A and B are shown apart, each in its own frame.
Chain A
């Protein structure tokens, strides 16, 4: 096994024992990027070749020199006997929606293709202060608007390491693909409707959407400001806890971060789960989608493999002492996507108005003598179809004559979704749950091009993840097995506000219980 295939906590131990160096670890990751990633995402990609179709294409920008300089600094600290920090020598890949000073920060959009951030996002700054090595910026759906990473202006878009004919999910598809392929042990992503958990499920890695307010959004290029959550992607739960320990906590630069103490996530991990109450809800075992012809909503049961993986996990957790509570009602789950169509678009439209060709980013090369024309032409040239669609929808549903019908109604539905969680997590209520156990996604990774372009069906890929964003509660996606095609299945744990420590503990228990399973020994196709 190569260094880049080891977990962050194993690498950390080896580094501190003197068995390897930060430079060696970084070089191993850079070499893996060379082996599997193919050409980086670019605005001028041309035709996608047969060779492209076999590669991962996680990265837009690899900052190799910067990474090696950071690695050498860690090695010098270790040699001097100084504390190099909790993530010392651990390479991380940053979703290109975060600002990192002096590096291109593109949001995978033409409109920011030439933008070099003048400051660094708080979660990145905290990781670098803890000794992490920033390998570069990874691809995503343009401005995070999508669930497959295909809408990036930087092509080729990321592909799934388990089968490159399939999407890695999105919008954090570059993050999850690069971690699955051993290009980085950790990645920083974001989750607005499931953008960490859904691609984590599709790529067979761990993704944690923290409680809203647990991790700072300072330096995150905003999409839905009441929904966006930065969070970790890793290959196991321990690495997820390691990264959370560093990025979590109040930040004076983000007034929405909560002044809540951060637990010792690693210390909590190995505690047993006896007595924890874990719920199963039938409302997460069926999906509600609009019929493409009639437009009427139809309900479908989840594929048996997805359902079976959750039940098996429940049985394993029960055998470890957890109490499994069946038939937990979450009746408003089905309204998560319709409400999200409204709330997220209004927030996106508001946030995207700042991109105007004046202060930074793309300005049209056409000569202009009218500022308003400059705005229109620059924005038209700079934005792809998905941002344009979100801007238009956001403006329509928040217009004075429609806002009661759409926006205010969606915000009230959001109250109902939050109420579902409050009731089942209520310590003196009927269910008193510590967590809900659900599938992460309705299906495993779909084929490239199979859904892209249909903005409604693409959104429904987030049906089982988006309620947590409306409610603000934390959610953890874990690998739960492989389907008949050998594609990863994700299972999800949802918990009360600020219960990341409990979710990670349950996730770690599940990992221990399945450590010897056959599916755990299978590698993604690009590594075979």
Chain B
């Protein structure tokens, strides 16, 4: 199996993904990522004409079947408490989070 993702690249990805992994998880996940990239390699062999455009969704959206854009207006939610009840920490109807420690940019 080719090692497409080395340890340093993997650690960078983990940081960008806002994850924190133990050694066992990291080993499994890096192995599976490389395994999947091996499987994806098949794509490189497909001849793609220059004029070929991308498809971001399969079904076309012609104007006659598309919905008009929604009005750009605020609709108050009937029960804000039902949403706030789901937040892990709330104070005076505000969701509480820890601070972001100050970092000096260099």
Contact = CB atoms under 8 A, between A and B. Distances in A.
Interface string A300-343: 00000000000000000000000000000000001101110110
Nearest to B69: A255
B104 to A, nearest CB: 15
Interface residues of A, number: 79
B98 A369 contact: yes
A66 interface: no
B95 A211 contact: no
Contacts, number: 196
A217 interface: no
A337 B99 contact: no
Interface in B18-58: 18-21, 25, 28-29, 32-33, 35-44, 46, 48, 52-58
Given A370-B98, A376-B19, A388-B25, A297 B46 contact: no
Interface residues of A, dominant DSSP: helix
B13 A118 contact: no
A379 interface: yes
A359 B54 contact: no
A359 B86 contact: yes
Contacts of B44: 405, 409
Contacts of A349: 17
Interface in A339-359: 339, 341-342, 349, 353, 356-359
Contacts of A18: none
A414 B32 contact: no
Interface centre among B35, B46, B69 (most CB of A within 10 A): B46
B58 A388 contact: no
A415 B53 contact: yes
B85 interface: yes
Given A118-B82, A395-B13, A370 B39 contact: no
Given A370-B101, A371-B100, A212 B19 contact: no
B7 to A, nearest CB: 13
Contacts of B70: 252, 255
A413 B56 CA distance: 11
A372 B18 contact: yes
A396 B17 CA distance: 10
Given A213-B59, A259-B66, A342-B40, 5 more contacts: A337-B39, A356-B18, A372-B100, A388-B25, A497-B59
8 contacts: A255-B69, A335-B46, A339-B43, A359-B87, A370-B100, A372-B100, A391-B19, A392-B17
